[in-house]
């Protein structure tokens, strides 16, 4: 692919970076990234990946935009209230950058569709807000050996990690099983500072671009925790668990299963 004059202008600040250049920009254009959830995290991730020119961005969401989302979900607007979130985000991202092909998957992610859906993408981004889906995404990425950039937020604190299956720990190495329903409050119960998903989402987008370019050090084997009130970034090492039920030597989990609904504290 040769760059058009428009693309040379649009991506000029990338092309002059030694770590990107024309070659890196072409890798970005050829990349396929799937974002699960077009909410607080998915919006900034998709926004910056669209701006960067990621060729194909898949967005999974079966929810519709509500007014209470707009305090933090920046791809949506009052014009897209009641519109499916994936469709709303697609409009925003394609307006920002028509080079990008945004594929909408207006379904609830479950064990039946996940492997088939993930296999077409290079990198998966977790922007979900519940534990069952988080674990399902982790397990599917381990099974398919897909890089996963995971983020989570609550109140004034967020965390991000990059999972490179079999080349570092996975989410289950850190927490083998999801917490019991009701133990961890949801954003709906506990609140979240609107800008927080912006910080965590842009860190996730940065990790995605580094993986596409093959530059820098991925955040594998580490959980980066951001505390907005105290302005602290802490990097906590996650050891790989040799007995991990999904990525260990003798994995117990061989099939994907959906956890019961009551786990979903959305």
Partner 1 sequence: MSDEKIDKKLDIRGEVCPYTLVKAKLGVEDIEVGQVIEITLDYPEASRSIPKAMLNYGHTVLKVEEVKPQEWVIQVRKEVED
Residues that bind partner 1 (CB under 8 A): 3, 8-9, 12-13, 15-16, 18, 21-23
Question: Is the dihedral angle over the CA atoms 146, 177, 173, 126 positive or is it negative?
Answer: positive
**CB proximity list for 94: less than 8 A, separation 6 or greater:** 50, 100, 102
Q: CA–CA distance from 78 to each of 69, 82, 253 (Å)?
A: 10, 9, 43
Q: CA–CA distance from 222 to each of 26, 45, 53, 190, 218 (Å)?
A: 29, 20, 28, 26, 9
Q: Least distance from C-beta 12 to partner 1, angstroms? A: 5
Q: Least distance from C-beta 31 to partner 1, angstroms? A: 18
What is the tally of helices (H) and strands (E) in the chain? 10, 8
Q: Which is nearer to partner 1, 25 or 133 (CB)?
A: 25
Q: Which is nearer to partner 1, 18 or 230 (CB)?
A: 18
Q: Which is nearer to partner 1, 12 or 257 (CB)?
A: 12
Q: Which is nearer to partner 1, 12 or 232 (CB)?
A: 12
Q: Which is nearer to partner 1, 5 or 116 (CB)?
A: 5
Two tokens, residue 105: 């998957």
Q: Least distance from C-beta 96 to partner 1, angstroms? A: 21
Question: Which candidate, 64, 108, 109, places its Cα nearest to that of 85?
Answer: 64
**From the centroid of its chain, how far is CA 30?**
18
Q: Least distance from C-beta 69 to partner 1, angstroms? A: 37
**CB proximity list for 221: less than 8 A, separation 6 or greater:** 168, 169, 237, 238, 239, 240
What is the helix, strand, coil percentage profile of the chain, to 5?
Answer: 35, 20, 45
Q: Which is nearer to partner 1, 12 or 188 (CB)?
A: 12
Q: Least distance from C-beta 211 to partner 1, angstroms? A: 19
Q: Least distance from C-beta 162 to partner 1, angstroms? A: 25
């Amino acid at each position: 692919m040769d760059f058009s004059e428009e693309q040379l202008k649009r991506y000029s600040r990338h092309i002059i970076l030694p770590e990107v250049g024309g070659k890196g920009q072409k890798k970005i254009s050829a990349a396929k990234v799937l974002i699960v959830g077009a909410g607080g995290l998915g919006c900034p991730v998709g926004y910056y990946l669209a701006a960067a020119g990621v060729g194909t961005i898949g967005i999974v969401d079966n929810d519709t935009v509500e007014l209470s989302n707009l305090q933090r979900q920046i791809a949506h607007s009052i014009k897209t209230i009641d519109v499916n979130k994936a469709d709303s985000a697609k409009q925003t991202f394609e307006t920002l950058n028509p080079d990008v092909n945004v594929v909408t998957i207006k379904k609830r992610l479950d064990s039946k569709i996940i492997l088939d859906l993930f296999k077409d993408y290079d990198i998966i981004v977790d922007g979900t807000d519940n534990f069952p889906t988080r674990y399902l995404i982790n397990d599917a990425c381990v099974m398919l050996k897909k890089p996963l950039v995971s983020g989570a937020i609550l109140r004034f604190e967020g965390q991000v990690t990059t999972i490179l299956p079999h080349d570092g720990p996975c989410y289950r190495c850190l927490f083998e099983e999801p917490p019991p329903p009701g133990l961890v409050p949801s954003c709906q119960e506990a609140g979240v500072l609107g800008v927080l998903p912006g910080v965590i989402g842009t860190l996730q987008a940065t990790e995605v671009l580094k993986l596409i370019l093959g530059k820098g050090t991925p955040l594998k084997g580490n959980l980066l925790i951001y505390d907005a009130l105290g302005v602290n970034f802490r990097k906590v090492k996650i050891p790989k668990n040799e007995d991990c039920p999904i990525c260990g030597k003798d994995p117990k989990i061989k099939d994907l299963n959906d956890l019961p609904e009551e786990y979903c504290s959305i």
